[in-house]
Amino acid sequence: MNRTLPTLFARRRPAPETVLLDLPGGQTFTYGDADAASAAIANGLRAAGVGPGDRVAAHVEKAPEVVFLYLACLRAGAVFLPMNPGYTGGEVEAIVGDAEPTVVVRSIADIDWLAAAQPTTFDSVVAEPDDVAVMLYTSGTTGRPKGAMLTQANLASNAAALHEAWGFVPDDVLLHALPIFHAHGLFVALNCVLANGTGMVFLPRFDVDAVIEELPRCTVFMGVPTHYTRLLGDERFTADVCRNMRLFVSGSAPLLASTHEAFEARTGHAILERYGMTETVMNTSNPLHGARKPGTVGLPLPGVEIRLADQDDGGVGGIELRGPNVFPGYWRRPELNDTEFTTDGFFKTGDLGTFDDEGYLTIVGRSKDLIISGGLNVYPKEVEDALDAIDGVLESAVIGVPDADFGEAVVAVIVPEANAALDPEAIRTSARARLAAFKVPKRVVVVDELPRNAMGKVQKAALRSELA
């Protein structure tokens, strides 16, 4: 059984000369290079006092050395703790204060210093399935940050499930344009490649020019919805550019059905949308072979149980999960085990969803984003879908703001298409033709763009604060 990452990666371990990382400009790092570099860093960590179970924090820009640091932590039995390089000093201080890492890496120079003059072989610690391998902090923008502890078994089981579900083959090449402080770029993308024993084109960040240049020699691309809309906005992005591709995957934020349809019309490829979160890695996926339904996140992955709690008359309920991918809990927050898990072991995601007749899951929003207006439930996703279908609307975000009469009033924030002139009252009139009166926004605000975090998710808390 491949219940740890080292055993999973060893299953298809390639020859040392196989390229793992292919960088712009022609520089490459082989699996042999990665073994030597990670061994040297692991020796440096040990010399710095890092033992099994100790945290190693990294607040560093994306670079090959961060991949080697991640592998070094796995080899040393340490807990890798990546942080968004965009975090402020105060945000980093809060996480470091909570996690109490033995080592904090703040630059590539720090990694080089750890590896300097160290042997390039290392006797790796034997990992156990329940060992914590990685800690990712979540919800820091809305309260005290929480460290989600992910075990070897969580990560290995999920990587193995995705590797099979997405049909990775020996000649696959991933185009990696995601951050690696986040589950999407670190676990979904990187771990799938390592489990496949193949390589990736490793971009420092998403850049339309670079992606268009590199796509012809790649077969798999994983992105967030913003990546796909930006590619579609460039006339150089054509079916010919995608001629060698076999799979485009989207996640981390909802993909508009219109984006899915426009992408397929342009390239002939149907984007595969999936659903995951920090605490559980990946939960569902549209099928590799079979219908990829726009607007849905597909079917539960093998071994993942999903149920909907407290469903309303429309079938909407709170999404709860159980499976080998689900984390054991939050670092030093045992009180959350009673509030975030059910008595029979399901994790309460905080997401709201529905299942269709074929078992495909659709996310309709976050429970905290549910709007109760005049005592009636309004699901933002339903209103957003109606607004996005109006001519001239590029995208929308729907929020609830305090209202003396209704308790909460529905407010829509709209981004127009290029050169479109939108009239708020006309938008409300069009929405009324599609929605019951209580769901129609009481106010429509037109903006140039929606506020988003590093992974492309709309920051509704910021909108609520601004428009309250």
Q: SS in 3 state form for 224-271?
A: CHHHHHHHHCCCCCCCCCCCCCCEEEECCCCCCHHHHHHHHHHHCCCC
Domain that holds residue 161: 5-274
CB 304 within 8 A of CB 284: yes
DSSP symbol at 317: E
Are the CB atoms for 176 and 201 separated by under 8 Å?
yes
Q: Is 313 inside a domain boundary?
A: no
What is the pTM for the complete model shown? Answer: 0.86
168 within 8 A of 192, measured Cβ to Cβ: yes
Scan for tokens 């190693």, then name that residue.
Answer: 56
Which ranges of 77-175 would DSSP assign to H, the alpha helix? 89-99, 108-115, 152-165
CATH code, 459? 3.30.300.30
One domain for residues 70 and 215: yes
Q: Do 255 and 147 share a structural domain?
A: yes
- Tell me, yes or no, whether 176 and 43 share the same domain: yes
User: 394 and 263: one domain?
Assistant: no
Express each pLDDT in 51-107 by its tens digit: 999 999 999 999 999 999 999 999 999 999 999 898 888 889 989 999 999 999 999
Residue 72 shares a structural domain with residue 185: yes
- Same-domain check for residues 249 and 397: no
Report if residue 14 sits inside a domain.
yes
Per-residue pLDDT tens for 31-58? 999 999 999 999 999 999 999 999 999 9
Residue 422: Cβ-neighbour burial (10 angstroms; 0-12, 13-18, 19+): middle
The two most distant CA atoms of the chain are separated, in Å, by 70
Closest CA to 297 of 354, 232, 362: 362
Tokens of 428: 């409300």
Query: Where is the domain boundary, 255, 274, 293?
Result: 274
Asked if 211 and 104 sit in the same domain, the reply is yes
What own/partner pairs with CB < 8 Å and gap ≥ 24 does 232-240 have?
232/259, 232/262, 232/263, 232/266, 233/208, 234/208, 236/212, 237/208, 237/212, 237/266, 237/267, 238/266, 238/267, 239/266, 239/267, 239/268
DSSP letter (8 states) at residue 73: H
Q: Each residue of 345-377: b (16+ CB within 10 Å) or e?
A: ebbebbbbbbbeeeebbbbbbeeebbbebeeee
CA distance 274 to 362: 10
Within 8 A by CB and 6+ apart from 250, the residues are 222, 223, 224, 225, 227, 228, 271, 272, 273, 274
Q: Is 296 part of a structural domain of the chain?
A: no
The answer to whether residue 120 sits within a structural domain is yes
Residue 117 in any domain: the answer is: yes
Res 364 pLDDT > 90: no
- Alpha-carbon distance of 412 to 115, in angstroms, equals 52
Q: Calculate mean pLDDT across residues 219-246.
A: 95
Buried b (16+ CB within 10 A) or exposed e, 228-255: bbebeeeeebeeebbeebbbbbbbbbbb
129 in the same domain as 9: yes
Among 188-202, 211-225, 354-368, the least confident range: 354-368
State the DSSP string of 334-370: TTHHHHHB-TTS-EEEEEEEEE-TT--EEEEEEGGG-
* Mean pLDDT computed over every residue of the chain: 93
What Rg do the C-alpha atoms of the chain give, in angstroms? 23
CA dist 184 and 220 (Å) reads 14
In tens, the pLDDT along 106-132 reads 999 999 999 999 999 999 999 999 999
Angle between helices 424-432 and 380-388 (to 10 degrees): 110
Nearest to 120 by CA among 181, 75, 179: 75
For 392-408, write each residue's pLDDT tens digit: 999 999 999 888 777 88
CATH number of 197's domain: 3.40.50.12780
Q: Is 425 helix (H, G, I), strand (E, B) or coil?
A: helix
Is residue 363 a part of any domain in this protein?
A: no
Instruction: Report yes or no on 404 lying in a domain.
Output: yes
Domain boundary among 240, 274, 308: 274
Residue 321: predicted pLDDT:
97
Where among 274, 300, 316 does a domain terminate? Answer: 274
Taking alpha carbons only, the member of 131, 165, 460 closest to residue 284 is 165
Q: How far is residue 349 CA from its own chain's centroid?
A: 14
Q: What is the pLDDT of residues 193-203, one digit of tens each?
A: 999 999 999 99
Number of domains in the chain: 2
How would you list the strands of the sheet with 443-446, edge to edge?
A: 393-403, 407-416, 443-446
- What are the tens digits of pLDDT across the range 146-187? 999 999 999 999 999 999 999 999 999 999 999 999 899 998
Q: Is residue 35 part of a domain?
A: yes
